[in-house]
Structure 1
């Protein structure tokens, strides 16, 4: 700051004349030059600041763009098919029922899984590990196809268990992918009209013979189909575990054959009445032709009855274990009038007695008789074993022979071990008469043996029997030998 040297008025540093008195004053050159220099740098400095601001703005924008794109890629990866498949596989391998159920239900259109169905489905996946692994690999290929193109065609990928598809958006940005488990259709058939079909114990309707009942939307797993026919004389039942490896084009066919037989009865009295399980069937023997269907599992017994002057007489009681025709003869003798007492020479009486003793009781050369007898004996033996009831077969055995006690003990043994048998076939080979009352018979027998642990074996035997005449019929006296020919 400076003052006028004449009037003392205050002047600015660059003021050359006093505004009060007009006196001229010298101006410092150095200061002037400094001001000039400062005035020359001001625009450049402002330009530098503006340019720097632009750089910062660009950097910020680029950072935000890169962050947004990175976030997009991250989100896309987290919601993409690869992540969805990996999460599903992890849930299955770790037995996470809730997560598997949620994942499958999200992608299903016609199946709604509950906890039990999901567990069954997961058990199937874990037991069929190779099938599961192959299906997951195919699923990944499907996912890549969907993610890298606009195509949604999964037909070119062979996958028996799943396929993956797009299903809307996630967060309004990313494609949502869901896994859809392939459901099967089960076609059930029966050999009897009006058979009731059950799936895992639940009735699914009735089916007619030569037709199919379709059960849709079944996920693979441990499922049981049961068919029940309620007939006049018995209830027939058959069940099977579904094997989804036999399915074709997602369709599994289950043909169940009920073992109901139609049987013809005969007797020495056509007007005798037929009784089934102790109840009058309403039929005479002469009317009992192709009666059925009847179960051959030993649950049905039959006999014939007829009224005579002396009272009601019955035939033997027969348990039905095969489809052979059944004879129900009634052992009844008409009362004979009292014979006239005519003196006879003692010698003649002795001759008549000798002749009566020598008279043949059965023709030992009758092959048909012994073939039928052995078939019935083996069938009734199996029924006795499966029902733990020796009385079913005891009338075929000579009570004085070793076979009687042997078979009785064997029935007890099989019951204790939980063994049952299925009689498949019998062929009679040699029939060799030893004398008028003794015959040796050779048989070829086939069985399916079922054990307590659920396993079974096919067995084939060749056996030799000794039959003796006892109580009016030939009966098994002894099992001479038996040899196992095949087993698998």
Structure 2
């Protein structure tokens, strides 16, 4: 047994002349002829040349295998190219140059979450790059450089590193080229962008908030804020729309959003208003905004809005009262506070006419009859005025008095309604046209006497389903802005004609302390009435025409008129009196509240000395000897 010298194969057959493995001839000691060997070699070659040809199936297998190999090679080459970061980077740069939102959207991905980026998302991104072309060029170069880094296996390893480079670097790394998930045996890559968010805020409830054309939120308060996103870094237009019963408005804001969270305010130039009401109530009310009726409780304490305060909107209020509906005048909105001042409508005007006509008729009848008791249910102030008015009956032996209400006008736009202890009161500004005066019985009345006018605040009270006069006081320096004729008047009356009335004054030699005290009290009431009415004729009933105080009081009334001073008598005390040759020296203390035209007031206490002289029908003040201020304090 031997081995092949060429391939080392073991030869099992000693008679074998060549290696069955490689065909190498074996050396042999057999001296058979060389011709026999040549014959065998030739026979072997013939055998090889006469092998069986391949079948069709064999050929198909070989062809299919070759095709598969070629396909796999081509697939690998194509897949490797399609998934390559070089191609992705080139496509992105090309998309930026073309400003193609669809291409850019397909190439970019957010770093967080699974939100897909569509073409609408890229518009703000491309707008920002269009406005900043140098940044667009930097971003494209950065992506290409990142592709080279990936070739050198030095890619960025973490999103933290990426975020730092984007938000704290030079802005070139806004887009990160990074490895994605492996596809089969290919590496894939993606372009990653860190998302940004926006805090949208507004000052109006029920406002629709938009990012571009997409509604992203709806406000539920007047102090609303919501975080919306994600967005690609870029320049976006945000807007808000509100359409309520009160206003229909739109506002927008363009913002460049590069930081992780940006604040964008969508504020309307609107306000919320409060109604200045004099009392709280459960009365049903409505607001009329540009004549559009809106149910709203003005007594509820809530703010009304949103509205514009530029004067372009008009507002009014309606309230349903027990006597009917009252409405304020239309007024332009220019302040956050709206005073509620009602107007007199035709229905209330008729009620006022009946109430005031009834009141003036009763007053005149009671004055003629000297029946002050018939005037009841009024305020203390009005009762005090009646006492002063009715004091004329003390001087009917000498004088005849005349009175007439010639007309009344009410300011329809200056009406104040208030509620006190479940009772409604109504304050009206009324101008009275009247005739008022006196004359000596032997002279007769001046037929040419003219009417005069004064403005009063009438306070009416609503009781038993009707209005009644409760109080009345002078309103100096006031004017009616919108007068309406109430058609209220009385006939001219005279009191004391024919001396049918009997004077209640005592004669000079019969006066005692009680009578003097009553007289001085009547005197001060009459003088205060003359002062507040600015009517000298009232004082004529208590002043001696022969005395110095008669002319002094005329001058004093002019002074008070110029200063706008009024008085309220609080108390009179008789300190002492003594009879002298001319009549009586009388000393009193009197307390007043004195009011000035600037709205201030003082409480004052005086001590005064008078000379009271006898006249034909009793006594009158002749001289104010002295007056001393004892105390004074602010009201």
Q: Give TM-score scaled by structure 2 length.
A: 0.36
Computing the radius of gyration from Cα coordinates, the structure with the larger value is: 2
Q: Give TM-score scaled by structure 1 length.
A: 0.45
